Amino acid sequence: MTQATSKGYDTHEINIRYVAGIAVASLLFLIVTLTVTYGYYVKEAELAIHNIVNAPQSEVLVVQQQANAKTLNSYAVIDGNAGIYQVPIARAIELIATDTDVRN
């Protein structure tokens, strides 16, 4: 038996260059991996935003928005017997503001 094995443990020093090399290689691998992952994330995020912004509007949505605009900006008789009428939103705001000024 050699002297190292006769004591039951290894008596040799570790190679510091080997340990430092592994540490540096691990650090470089981590930096490269994080850089590539971040680049992929940014690319995919920009693509997702591009697809959302440039997506065509739904025809149902366009029709609904037109109907809402018509309702908000037109006069109509809802129930003539009960005296319920629809007025444009801008006119309704003016009437409410005027009514509030008169009350005060």
> With a threshold of 0.95, does the pTM exceed it?
no
* Identity of the residue numbered 96: I
Contact 73, 86 (CB under 8 A): no
Query: Can you count the helices (H) and strands (E) in the chain?
Result: 4, 2
pLDDT digits (tens, 9 = 90+) for 30-84: 999 999 999 999 999 999 999 988 888 889 999 999 999 999 999 999 998 998 9
40 φ, ψ (degrees, to nearest 5): -65, -45
Distance CA 33, CA 21 (A): 18
Residue 7, sorted as left (phi over 0), alpha (psi -120 to 50) or beta, turns out to be alpha
Domain ranges of the chain: 1-55, 57-104
